[in-house]
Structure 1
Amino acid sequence: MDVKREVVVVTGASAGVGRAVVREFARRKACIGLLARGQDGLRAAAREVEELGGEALLLPCDVADAAGVENAAAEVERKWGHIDVWVNCAMSTVFAPVMETTPEEFRRVTEVTYLGYVHGTQAALRRMKPRNQGTIVQVGSALAFRSIPLQSAYCAAKHAITGFTESLRCELVHERSKVHVTEVHLPAVNTPQFDIQRSKMPRQAQPVPPIFQPEIIARAIVYAAHHRRRSIWVGFPTVKAIIGDKFIPGLLDWYLGKKGYNSQMTEEPARKDRPDALFSPVPGDHGAHGRFDARAKKRSFQVWANLHRGWLAVAGLVATGVVGAGLAARR
C-alpha cells in the first residue's frame, strides 16, 4: 500500500449521503472502510471505490452494536495500520407524529442515529488519541438546532449528537489533544431514505424543499475532514433554520405547525405495504440519490463561499484597498 494513502471509515456507507461521501474519498484514492448493514449496497459501493482508484474494505455492521463497531475499527487498523478520518453518517428515522411512534421505534432511532455516532466516535478515538492525530466528522443537520414535526425521534437524536460533540471537544482541549472533531450540518437532501425509512404519513415522504443533491454534501464533508473548522453549515436553508431558531423560535413553532406537515409529503399516496429499513436493511443497492433528481439543486453558492471564505476575505481586503487608494488619489 502507498503509505501516503489516507485511511477513512464511513458509517452508513451503502446509501444516501454516506455513499456520496465514499465516492468523493475514492476519487482521492483513499483506503475506505465501508460500514453499513446492507450487503447489496456495500458490495456496490466497494466496486465504485475500486473503479475510482481507491481501496475498499467491507464491514457489515449495525452501528447500534458497540462491539460490532469496535471490531470493524480493529479490522481497518489490522489491514491499513491506522485511521486518519472517521465519518459518522449512519441514520434512521420514523416519519410519524409523536403519539403514533412506539417506544420501540424511538429506541431504535436513538440507538442508530445517536448512539451509533457515540460508538463510532469512541472506536475512532481509541485509535487516534495514541497517535495524537486524526479527524472525526459528525454529519449533523439543521434539525439538530430547529426541530420539525413528524420526525421527533430523528430531531432529538441529532440534537443529542451536537451536545455529545460539544462535551467531547472540551475534553480534547483539556487533554491538549490534536485529534479534531467537526460537524457538518445539512439541509434537505435527495437521498433514498424517503423510500426506505419507516413512514406513517398518508402520502409519500419527501425532503422539505429546497432539496440538495448529495454530492454537494459530500464535498463539504471531505473539506471538513481536511480543514480544522469547528463546523460547516451547508446551504442557505440550514443557515436560516439555525439562526432563525436563535431569534424567533416561537414564530417558527407556529410556521412549522401550519406548514411542516404538507412540506414533508408529496401528493402521491403512501404505499402501506412497502418494507422499511428501521430494524433490518431493505434488499438492493439504493445508491446515493433518491427520487427527487428533477427538483434537487446541483450547486450551492453558499457552500462554495463557505469553503472559500479565506480567499473571499483576501479578495475583500484587496478590493477595499483598491477603492481606498482610488479615493485617496482623487483628493
Structure 2
Amino acid sequence: MPRPIHSSVIVITGASSGIGRATALEFAKQRATLLLAARRENALREVAQECEQLGATAVAVRTDVTFESDVQALARRAIESFGRLDVWVNNAAVSLFARFENVRMEAFRRVIETNLFGYIHGARAALPYFREQGNGNLINVSSVVGVTGQPYTIPYTISKYAIRGLSDSLRMELYLDHAPDIHVCTVLPGSIDTPIFQHAANYTGRQTKAMTPVYSAREVAEAIAGLVERPQREIVVGQAVYLALLQKTLAPDVFEHMMATQVDKNHFQDYKPAPHTDGNVFEAMEDYTGISGNWLVEDGMTQDIWDMAKEAAQKIGLPMS
C-alpha cells in the first residue's frame, strides 16, 4: 500500500515556479515532508515558506538536474534528514522555440540534458532507495506533445517522448524484479498556464504564448497528488488532450496537418515581434517565479466538448483526471 501523503517524504524538481510550485503547495496542504529543488534559491525559499505556512515540513535545496552529482546529493539529503524517500517527482524542464535547422546545437543539447537526463538522474537517484525500502513512487511529468509531436519545439518534444519511453521501460524492469510496490507514473498535461513560455528560449522572431485551450497548473498538481495514493501508469490532464490523442490514433495524417497549422497560428502572438533569446535554457531567470504565466482564460469547455473528451478517453483507455 502506498504511504499517505501526510507521512511521505517527497522530492519535487523544478519546484520554483509553474507545475512544480503548484505541486509543492498541493502536497503542503496535506502536510507532507518536502524537499524542493530548482536552480533559483530565492524562489525556492519563498515556496518552502509558503509550504510551511500550510503545515508542511519543507526544505529548499538548490539543484541543477543536469548534474548527476547535484541530484544524488538531493536524494541523500532526503535520507539523511528524514530517514526515507517515498515519492520523487521529476518535473524540471526548459523549452525552446525555433525551426529545427535554426536551433543552436548547444541549446538543443541543453534542453535534452535538462528535460531527459535530469529525469534519468532523478530515477537513478531515487530507485536504489525505493528498492531498499521495498516501495516508492517515481512520477515523471511528460506532456501531450510526448504523444502527438509539435513543430517549433522539437528538442522539447523529443525529450517528452523519451520520458514516456523511460517510464514504460522502468516499469518493465520493475516487473521483472518482482517489485510491485515500486511505481512509475507518467503525467501528460496539455497546455498549462505556467511561466514556461516566458522562460523559453526563442529564436523564431515571434512572441510565444500558451496554446489554447489552457488549463490551470493546479489541475496538474492535483493529478500528481492523486497518483501518490492511487498510482496509475499514465494519466492525462486536460479534457481537450483526449480529443487530440483520439484524432492522432484514428487519423494521424489529418491530425499532423491540423496540429501543425494550429501551432503555427495559435502558439504565437504575431503582433509582438520577439528578439532572439536563450531564455532560461542555460541560466535560471530570476523573474516569473509564480505558478501562473497569466495565460488562462476562464471560459471553460462546452458540454459537447466535454462529452467528446469522455468518449475519447474510453476508446483509448486513458483515465480522466
Task: Using the TM superposition, give the Cα deviation of residue 284 of structure 1 relative to its aligned residue in structure 2, in angstroms.
Answer: 3.5
Specify every segment of 5 or more residues in structure 1 that has no aligned partner in the other structure, as ranges.
310-331
Q: What SS class does the counterpart of residue 141 from structure 1 fall into? A: coil
Task: Using the TM superposition, give the Cα deviation of residue 126 of structure 1 relative to its aligned residue in structure 2, in angstroms.
Answer: 1.4
- Which segment is superposed worse, 243-252 or 122-131? 243-252
Aligned to 2:178: 176
Q: What SS class does the counterpart of residue 137 from structure 1 fall into? A: strand
**Aligned to 1:247, which of 245, 250, 274?**
250
Q: How does 1:73-84 map to 2 (within 5 A)?
A: 73-84=75-86
- Which segment is superposed worse, 212-221 or 226-235? 226-235
Q: What SS class does the counterpart of residue 261 from structure 1 fall into? A: helix
Between the aligned partners of 1:174 and 1:51, the Cα distance in structure 2 is 43
Aligned to 2:259: 256
Between the aligned partners of 1:292 and 1:267, the Cα distance in structure 2 is 16
Task: Using the TM superposition, give the Cα deviation of residue 199 of structure 1 relative to its aligned residue in structure 2, in angstroms.
Answer: 1.1
Task: Using the TM superposition, give the Cα deviation of residue 294 of structure 1 relative to its aligned residue in structure 2, in angstroms.
Answer: 3.8
Task: Using the TM superposition, give the Cα deviation of residue 198 of structure 1 relative to its aligned residue in structure 2, in angstroms.
Answer: 0.7
Q: Is 2:225 aligned against 1:211?
A: no
Between the aligned partners of 2:161 and 2:265, the Cα distance in structure 1 is 23
Aligned to 2:195: 192
Q: Is 2:41 aligned against 1:39?
A: yes
Aligned to 2:61: 59
Aligned to 2:126: 124
Aligned to 1:9: 11
**Aligned to 2:146, which of 127, 144, 147?**
144
Aligned to 1:284: 287
Distance 1:203 1:282, change over 3 A: same
Distance 1:132 1:229, change over 3 A: same
Specify every segment of 5 or more residues in structure 2 that has no aligned partner in the other structure, as ranges.
315-321
Between the aligned partners of 1:279 and 1:246, the Cα distance in structure 2 is 36
Aligned to 1:103: 105
Distance 1:235 1:293, change over 3 A: closer
Among all aligned residue pairs of Structure 1 and Structure 2, give the percentage whose two residues are the same amino acid: 28
Between the aligned partners of 1:269 and 1:285, the Cα distance in structure 2 is 19
Q: Judge conservation of contact 2:87–2:138 (CA < 8 Å) in 1.
A: yes
- Give the TM-score taking structure 1 as reference length: 0.86
Distance 1:41 1:262, change over 3 A: same
- Give the TM-score taking structure 2 as reference length: 0.89
Between the aligned partners of 2:96 and 2:296, the Cα distance in structure 1 is 23
Q: Judge conservation of contact 2:89–2:139 (CA < 8 Å) in 1.
A: yes
**Residue identity in the other structure for 1:208:** M
**Aligned to 2:169, which of 143, 167, 170?**
167
Q: Judge conservation of contact 2:63–2:74 (CA < 8 Å) in 1.
A: yes
Deviation digits for residues 108-156 of structure 1 (CA, Å, limit 9, x no counterpart):
0000011111111111101111111111111111111111110000000
Task: Using the TM superposition, give the Cα deviation of residue 6 of structure 1 relative to its aligned residue in structure 2, in angstroms.
Answer: 1.6
Task: Using the TM superposition, give the Cα deviation of residue 36 of structure 1 relative to its aligned residue in structure 2, in angstroms.
Answer: 0.5
Between the aligned partners of 1:206 and 1:250, the Cα distance in structure 2 is 26
Q: Judge conservation of contact 1:212–1:297 (CA < 8 Å) in 2.
A: no
- Which segment is superposed worse, 124-133 or 287-296? 287-296
Between the aligned partners of 1:211 and 1:4, the Cα distance in structure 2 is 30
Deviation digits for residues 233-287 of structure 1 (CA, Å, limit 9, x no counterpart):
1122221222322221111222233332121112441442767211010113611
Q: Judge conservation of contact 2:202–2:277 (CA < 8 Å) in 1.
A: no
Between the aligned partners of 1:196 and 1:83, the Cα distance in structure 2 is 30
- Which segment is superposed worse, 173-182 or 267-276? 267-276
Q: Which has the larger radius of gyration?
A: 1
Alignment coverage as a number of residue pairs: 304
- Which segment is superposed worse, 277-286 or 264-273? 264-273
Backbone CA RMSD of aligned residues = 2.4
**Residue identity in the other structure for 1:192:** P
Aligned to 1:324: none
Between the aligned partners of 2:214 and 2:11, the Cα distance in structure 1 is 27
Q: Judge conservation of contact 1:40–1:284 (CA < 8 Å) in 2.
A: no
Task: Using the TM superposition, give the Cα deviation of residue 296 of structure 1 relative to its aligned residue in structure 2, in angstroms.
Answer: 7.3
